[in-house]
Structure 1
């Protein structure tokens, strides 16, 4: 990952996948937890939405699928695959069912919550919108209501998804932004057929 003109440019190598991939020919993507308390904004524990702007270049290769940033609550490391604990996360994801060269891919929210135990997450809202490889910036907003488990998604100001998609998180405050993006899955078959880049900018979180 590197800064580029006010945006974060993320590199994904050919055939790259999740950090756990042991036989992928290259690496790519990036991941970190942006903790509200560490940033001096513990008040955002009661936040309700995340807004980010993302751009997939026209030369983007969607591969088979991959992860994008979202929100999380609980301890870092317990909001992803393997061991969930008393934590949750709502990362965006793309899924490509259209084959090589597709200019769009299905959007969804990839959910981990305490009701699932250990193991994989759950696809929520798959196909409710399309990610576009059009070299244009698109504003993506995710709203999570911890009390009801409602997740709502808007793209460029238009709501595309609204559903009760996450469970047992009312007592687990928001912890921060889970910046997590990579192809996968855990195998090279998820990865792009060539080196690609995506850009991210303008992250904001609000309690309103």
Structure 2
């Protein structure tokens, strides 16, 4: 009798990483919370940004209110809707994952687009059409049909074929769209949204951006330039949400988005 033995070879992938910071339970008397290390509130604290009940589950969550006709470019801050603050809960680094959950209300009209939280690093202004070689930013955006993207501000040059690639919208003045059309948000349900950013070596095109939606990688690019000098780090969680840009992107009705489970990692999700 012959015994046959089958040897099966397999590979185990180990990710050497850790969660550097995790958002604690929301406290309506202290928004966003002491352990966020918030360095600047721009608008919305206690008015259009509040702690509220989970629209689809248990426990409190952070709620952004967007009044009808609100948009980020409104000079009247009370009519910008949403809110904006910058926090530094961890030390600067060259690679980070930002992870959080987001829920768009069932009546949410995406109109022409709007901003939601992402990462930021450096000094100066990397938003609103300001070009500054001392910083970068990677907020997420929703677009008019509910599709999403990383709204990428960096003044540095990119590879010659950058503007001709699929799912990339190119605009060196007002910000690039990374992953545009590669994923779509749904109303009335929670999504887990994640971005992994690895800064480039100054002078090289070796920066990485990945987008994950509900645990699935939907976009990746491996040859970006985020910075031109080594003094720029990933150092800020930028909570920033509102409709627009401009007046033609304003909210068509009173509506809400909800946020929860913010985390910062020192590694990429698997995928």
Q: TM-score, length-normalised on structure 2? A: 0.65
SS where residue 126 of structure 2 aligns?
coil
- Mapped pair 1:195 → 2:254: yes
Which of 118, 122, 127 is the aligned partner of 1:70? 118
Q: Distance in 2 between matches of 1:27 and 1:66?
A: 11
- Mapped pair 1:83 → 2:127: no
Q: What corresponds to 1:155 in structure 2?
A: 213
Q: What corresponds to 1:59 in structure 2?
A: 107
Q: Distance in 2 between matches of 1:127 and 1:157?
A: 17
- CA offset digits 1:45-101 (Å, max 9, x no partner): 2442100100012121112111111011102x522124332100111111114xxxx
- Mapped pair 1:140 → 2:193: yes
How many pairs are equivalent? 192
Which structure carries more strand by proportion? 1
Q: Distance in 2 between matches of 1:22 and 1:165?
A: 37
Unaligned stretches of 5+ residues in structure 1: 98-104
Could you say if the C-alpha distance between residues 111 and 9 of structure 1 is closer, same or farther in structure 2, counting changes exceeding 3 Å? same
Misfit runs of 4+, over 6 Å: none
Structure 1 residues 1-208: aligned runs within 5 Å: 1-5=49-53, 6-18=60-72, 20-22=73-75, 26-36=79-89, 41-42=90-91, 44-75=92-123, 77-85=124-132, 86-97=134-145, 105-115=146-156, 119-133=173-187, 135-147=188-200, 148-164=206-222, 166-169=224-227, 171=230, 172-187=232-247, 189-208=248-267
**Larger Cα Rg: Structure 1 or Structure 2?**
2
Higher relative contact order (CA 8 A, sep 6+): 1
Unaligned stretches of 5+ residues in structure 2: 1-48, 54-59, 158-170, 201-205
Q: Distance in 2 between matches of 1:8 and 1:127?
A: 27
On the 8 A contact 2:80/2:242 being kept in 1, the answer is: no
On the 8 A contact 2:66/2:81 being kept in 1, the answer is: yes
Q: Distance in 1 between matches of 2:113 and 2:97?
A: 24
On the 8 A contact 1:17/1:24 being kept in 2, the answer is: no
